[in-house]
Structure 1
């Protein structure tokens, strides 16, 4: 049986903990089907297959909308994103969640362009195996009973509804129609100049980084009216002759230097940079931790994850529109520039950031846009900023300039007493990593908060 098609039906019995299939998932113990499947979709085995952060966030929004709408078809409690009609009486909610997630993931994996390398082809095959294994673990052996069959049909219907807004199915081949299929078109072509973003200069690691996601502003938002709806206002740092620019440049030059961070590998700044190295893709994991002990049910979890991932996906579309509207250079280009005309800055052609520079302009920051959207949604959802959470991550190794040796992997735990504390630390982390001027980080946070407010006020409202 071809499990990558919407027509597939696997036997269903009961919900089993997803951890039983051996995936390295950061899900809380004794979670429900919604949080467990969120962990499957966001796992290292599955989510990176969709590409960069922008593509991953889009995929998560599609998954979580399907899950939300499937549950609402069984018991309507909120306005659905897509109207799919009422589920048959007695339909299993857990089977619906499993089917909605599996069908969206497998369809989107099948719609990807050819894998660029044999390794990635293997990774994609393994992702499909992981998703199907999670489904088999969730829906036990034997033929499904009537409730499970109805739940699977409902989950598939919810998946088809959101997929059909984003893809066209021609003879079984799914092709994106929302603009996401051409993420790097048109190619970036601005010439080098003062303040103008450029390919990351060598020697960077692993090599020169070419500007990417130039076409992402053309992707259809999930909730916003347009990709420019919350365009960030011009930054004061755009005036390169100013004292404010010099202060910002010198700050990241010192705090985000690979040599400085490598000399103080266990400092607060180094740990914070490494903790948030994933560019704020950690927010689904953060949300699972936050909801673990709050006594919420599957419908509440589904609404929260759908709202958050819609806001995050739209924040990235909005962010890339701002980035490629201003095309402001990254610290690595600015600090190596021979003479920027500001007497308070000094060129350092050998300077290197602590972490690798992402392939798009500086202003505003993309990862803080994600954080602003996620934290803003959680703040609105729970009605408070005073949300405490603690997370432990296994930070990866960090290469350093010769003759320094690579920093080894490290277990890092961070505790946050509120969402705003987490937001502000994540913003500072990009300066400590050498990736951003601080102003762009806070501009990203503000834009992400605006997107969150817009989405929350207009979508998936209680009935």
Structure 2
């Protein structure tokens, strides 16, 4: 039986009470393993967020099936009595990851064995029958989640999307001139939304109005690869946020805040499920809008500014952005959409005055602090 009362929308949250446990647990351990796997797989942010949602919902329903404290997301509780919740987490995460990234199975096998060894050696009594029941339950949950999302519209990939050549329309951009990425996300089955268009935004500014000209000129000045107006910190900020997917940033932030708040295994499983489901739905909503408006990218707009009908914009046929332009329409922004919902979830859980660090594997040693 499937229920979506876990989240009515990406932002419908119920606050959790604090608890006494402060040590790392298998939920956060396997979230770390998952994030490393996403980096190894070198996925685009939207594909990484989908994979993370599959893993974290598998973990959540596995936990909740043994410790039924909340509504299930997709798989109703059904574990045998006495099943080890920690073994169920390990197996659910492992099975989901192996199905998503079969080439990384040897690494997952080593991590699976290490996790089970830690369960049996840490002094908490979980006998072989308890662990076996937990493993069986975790596998059944992951199998159900992966099978369900295999029909969400992610595959098969649609024909290449090449946009259009009309003024204001997106078209492949230099240097690689790739087709539009992920057009199927515009109509993919949501995780919690009623439809991809549930939160459909108003369109971008008309090319001939003042708001468009203001945005155009700000991006032209500040976003150029050799901009003298941009500070060193602004350059670092841009490169930092481009160096990882939103799931990487926000899952690490959630785990860090949870550790400081001494959240339990069950609470960690629920928070990470909510967070990743919401980001996955944010991507679907964003891509629905992107492929509705099909708005051109700054590199195209600036190099073709003499065609936009706006006297306040001037073309520069050599203009090049600081960061390589991603291969999909401009509006609305993908990182900002996913990060906006993630920040809202953490604020709803922990309050909007919570400080937390953000790090990126793409920029080792760089830590930025937010609240």
Aligned to 2:184: 215
Work out whether 1:31 is the aligned partner of 2:24.
Answer: yes
1:50–1:109 CA contact under 8 A, matched in 2: no
- Sort the Cα spacing of 1:109 and 1:392 in 2 relative to 1 into closer, same or farther, 3 A: closer
Aligned to 2:15: none
In the alignment, the residues of structure 2 paired with residue 414 and residue 51 of structure 1 have an alpha-carbon distance, to the nearest angstrom, of 23
Structure 2 counterpart of 1:94, from 57, 79, 86: 86
Task: Compute the displacement of 1:49 (Å).
Answer: 2.4
Task: Compute the displacement of 1:250 (Å).
Answer: 0.7
In the alignment, the residues of structure 2 paired with residue 394 and residue 221 of structure 1 have an alpha-carbon distance, to the nearest angstrom, of 29
- CA offsets per residue over residues 313-359 of structure 1, 9 Å max, x none? 11111111100100111111101115022221111111111111111
Helix, strand or coil at the partner of 1:292:
helix
Matches within 5 A, 1:166-205: 166=149, 176-183=150-157, 185-201=158-174, 204=175
Work out whether 1:133 is the aligned partner of 2:110.
Answer: yes
Work out whether 1:66 is the aligned partner of 2:40.
Answer: no
| TM-score, L = length of structure 2 | 0.86
1:322–1:363 CA contact under 8 A, matched in 2: yes
1:50–1:59 CA contact under 8 A, matched in 2: no
1:395–1:412 CA contact under 8 A, matched in 2: no
Aligned to 1:13: none
Work out whether 1:292 is the aligned partner of 2:285.
Answer: no
Aligned to 2:290: 323
- CA offsets per residue over residues 270-293 of structure 1, 9 Å max, x none? 111011113523211121122121
Task: Compute the displacement of 1:256 (Å).
Answer: 0.8
Task: Compute the displacement of 1:189 (Å).
Answer: 4.0
Greater RCO, CA 8 A, separation 6+ = 2
Matches within 5 A, 1:169-318: 176-183=150-157, 185-201=158-174, 204=175, 207-235=176-204, 237=205, 239-260=206-227, 267-277=232-242, 278-281=244-247, 282-318=249-285
- Sort the Cα spacing of 1:338 and 1:415 in 2 relative to 1 into closer, same or farther, 3 A: closer
- CA offsets per residue over residues 167-218 of structure 1, 9 Å max, x none? xxxxxxxxx32211134x14324331211111003xx3xx223212112222
Alignment root-mean-square deviation, CA: 2.2
Task: Compute the displacement of 1:104 (Å).
Answer: 0.8
- CA offsets per residue over residues 218-251 of structure 1, 9 Å max, x none? 211111111111111122x2x1111211110010
- Sort the Cα spacing of 1:230 and 1:307 in 2 relative to 1 into closer, same or farther, 3 A: same
In the alignment, the residues of structure 2 paired with residue 279 and residue 317 of structure 1 have an alpha-carbon distance, to the nearest angstrom, of 15
1:218–1:227 CA contact under 8 A, matched in 2: yes
Aligned to 2:4: none
Task: Compute the displacement of 1:128 (Å).
Answer: 1.8
In the alignment, the residues of structure 2 paired with residue 140 and residue 59 of structure 1 have an alpha-carbon distance, to the nearest angstrom, of 26
2:278–2:342 CA contact under 8 A, matched in 1: yes
5+ long unaligned stretches in structure 1:
1-28, 111-124, 167-175, 397-409, 419-463
Work out whether 1:164 is the aligned partner of 2:141.
Answer: no
In the alignment, the residues of structure 2 paired with residue 47 and residue 95 of structure 1 have an alpha-carbon distance, to the nearest angstrom, of 25
5+ long unaligned stretches in structure 2:
1-21, 121-126
Helix, strand or coil at the partner of 1:390:
strand
